[in-house]
Amino acid sequence: MAEESIPLRAGPLSMTFDVDNVMLRFVRVGKAEVLRGINAPVRNQFWGTVPPRASDIRLQESDGAFQLTFDVKCQERDIDFFWKGRIVGNSEGHVVFTFDGEAHSTFLRNRLGFCILHGPSAAGQSWRIEDIQGNETPGHFPKFIAPDQPAKNIRAISHEIAPGVWAQVRCEGDTFEMEDQRNWTDASFKTYCTPLEIPYPVKVVKGTRISHKVQISLRGDLSQLLRDNQPTDEVTLSLVEGGQALHTLPGIGLQLSSQVDQLEAAQTTRLKALNMDHLRVTLTPASDSFASVLEQATTQASALGVSLHVGIQIGEKPAPELQRLADAIKITQPPVSAWLVLAADQKKFQLARRILGPVVPVSRIGTGEDTNFTELNRNRAVDSHVQMISYGMNPQCHAIDTLTMVENLEIQADTVHSARQFVGDRPLLISPITLRVQGVRQAPLAGELPSNVDARQPSVFTAGWTLGSIKYLAQAGADSLTYYETVGWKGVMSPAGDFPLPDIFPAKPDEVYAVYHVFRAVGEFAGGKVREVRSSDGLSAIGLALAKKGRTRLLVANLSERAQSIRILGLAPGDVELFRLDADNETTARSDPEAFSRRRGQWLSVSRKPLQLHLAPYGIAQLDQGS
């Protein structure tokens, strides 16, 4: 998962070039972010991103200036596109990024060319937008997540990165517009081309040439920003005291496995150790098999001692389908705590309420969107009888590298804060949370994993990412969280028998994944309280603090591929027991989770001084206080 990057400087501007993802990242003046990034993705007709491959990278540097040139191939299935990149930065803080490409095959695309990403710190900041006619309009980046494009027909965007300091980005080669990518839990406002109102996919004929240019410039007194730039290799985590910092830990559950029909006895025992709140299943009453799926889910929920959350996908004949479901409920008597009518307008919801009402408590009927927050945000007219609302999320709608996944974590909280603006205090169920976009966009080729499966699922990285997800959603006040599946490629453990594609999905039969231990550590504090933990660098390390019956548990994740020194503030003086999960003990943790959970920790003494903690790459620490 290591990603190569090249540090660059153009006078007051610092930035890095991400070689693996062919992306200019973290353009900053001191600690003030100008842009989160610039890249030039080729996205196919299914919105899949063709992996770029950079070569012939050449860098010239002198006196705070640089020139970087490189070649890029984007080849996948029928797509073959080549482009030359050139980034030039001078000592005055002016940067020019050019893209000159040619299609080496004929293909269909939904997007091709520069995407400019303003980071989440821009939310609420003032802007001035110049349109393609040269007219300038003042405004601001949306504070809460905008359902539709905040700006269209863009030629240039200037925004205030600090009082009196403005950064401008000027785009050439196409007409650009902006979307609030926080809808998909991306940590950016994306300015892209071509406008979505132009029909797509677009046919790109072999030999077609495409050229774009982006320029970055600064205006204002930069001296204070440069003085405030005090680099440090140490991350500080601070536990926050106070009543408003306390939330109840959301109920956490998993989805029914899509790979195994029944749970083995050992799997049931291991899943019960997670102290889950619920098991999630999605039913399609129009399907011939839906009744057996409901029975399967009921059997597993009973064995695990949890309730069910049931998503209902209504087809073309809503009334007969809902009646079939009502009849099956009478027979099966499932232990359901949430019925979620998916993608339902008010008419469908009212119909579901009328037909299901005689067999289930109407207080447990809500609505949901399995895809992402976008659909809920664009359809805010929620029926007054809706008792709860759900939406799903994943960190890889637009990019699949680990750094982007880490960047996107904090935006999960933004979706909760934005949803509260129009759903009020009704329970928010974030469900399902997965690593990849659900559904299969294209059938996998021989030897490929399906597009909705991520080979990182078993890894310690995913364990840390999941800890970050729980942290941000819990601190934001979400009421329920549903992750992954129980068993299989998208689960928390592997099946007992032969496991397909072991060469590309690193798991052995009948073992747990690293994330299992995160759920177990959090599950022990079910019903407890969450204390806010602030990080001086949330892209490097995060913490989740839990409290219950006189006990405190701080879980810390190193989200970086390098070892980290972490300073912890706010722990009560006294003894703490430290447990670790990292590459050194991952094999034991996965093959024998029972023994791993019984292990003894390392005792440390906490004084009024900060506690120093050293974590291996992607390592996780558990610090326990109290009896």
| Model pLDDT for residues 592-626, shown as the tens digit of each residue | 999 999 999 999 999 888 999 999 999 999 999 99
Residue 497 — pLDDT band, cuts 50, 70, 90?
confident
Which DSSP category does 560 fall into?
S
pLDDT of 474: 98
Is the pLDDT reported for residue 548 higher than 60?
yes
Q: In a 3-state reduction of DSSP, which class is residue 456?
A: coil
pLDDT at 186 over 60: yes
Mean pLDDT score of the chain, rounded to an integer? 95
CA 584 – CA 602 distance, rounded (Å): 15
Residue 188 dihedral angles phi and psi, to the nearest 5°: -170, 160
**Residue 349 corresponds to which tokens in the numbers above?**
């919801």
pTM of the model: 0.95
**What is the CATH number assigned to the segment(s) 234-239+531-625?**
2.60.40.1180
User: Residue 374, class by beta-carbon neighbours within 10 Å (0-12 exposed, 13-18 middle, 19+ buried)?
Assistant: buried
Q: What is the pLDDT of residues 334-384, one digit of tens each?
A: 999 999 999 878 899 999 999 999 999 999 999 999 989 999 999 987 888
pLDDT per position as a tens digit, 227-242: 877 667 789 999 997 6
Q: For residue 337, what are the contacts with CB-CB under 8 A and spacing of at least 6?
A: 278, 307, 308, 309, 364
Residue 406 pLDDT grade (very low, low, confident, very high; cuts 50, 70, 90): very high
Domain with CATH 2.60.40.1180 in the chain: 234-239+531-625
pLDDT in the model for residue 245: 64
Q: Which helix (H) or strand (E) holds 271?
A: helix 265-272
104 or 243, which is more confident?
104
How many Cα atoms sit within 13 Å of 87 on the Cβ side?
A: 30
The four Cα atoms 465, 470, 475, 478 give a dihedral, to 10 degrees, of 130
Question: Which pLDDT does position 538 carry in this prediction?
Answer: 96
55 bridge partner residues = 71
Cβ burial, residue 416 (10 Å; 0-12/13-18/19+): buried
| Third-level CATH fold of 250-524 | TIM Barrel (3.20.20)
Q: Where in the chain is the domain with CATH 2.70.98.10?
A: 5-227
Instruction: Answer whether 250's CB lies under 8 Å from 47's CB.
Output: no
Band (pLDDT 50/70/90 cuts) for residue 442 is confident
| Minimum mean pLDDT range among 212-226, 301-315, 491-505 | 491-505
How much is the average pLDDT of 64-85? 97
Q: Which residues of the chain form CATH 3.20.20.80? A: 250-524
Grouping H, G, I as helix, E, B as strand and the rest as coil, residue 256 is coil
Whole-number CA gyration radius for the chain: 25
User: Could you report the per-residue pLDDT of 111-130, keeping only the tens digit for each?
Assistant: 999 999 999 999 999 999 99
> What residues are paired with 308 via a beta bridge?
279, 336
Q: How far is it, in rounded angstroms, from Cα 529 to Cα 336?
A: 25
Beta-ladder partners of 509: none
Angle at 561 (CA atoms; ends 558, 564), nearest 5 degrees: 45
Summarize pLDDT for 125-161 with one digit per residue, the tens: 999 999 999 999 999 999 999 999 999 999 999 999 9
- Which two tokens mark 573? 């003086």
Instruction: Assess if CATH 2.70.98.10 describes domain 5-227.
Output: yes
Q: Is pLDDT at 243 greater than 80 in this prediction? A: no
Q: Provide the β-strand partners of residue 338.
A: 309
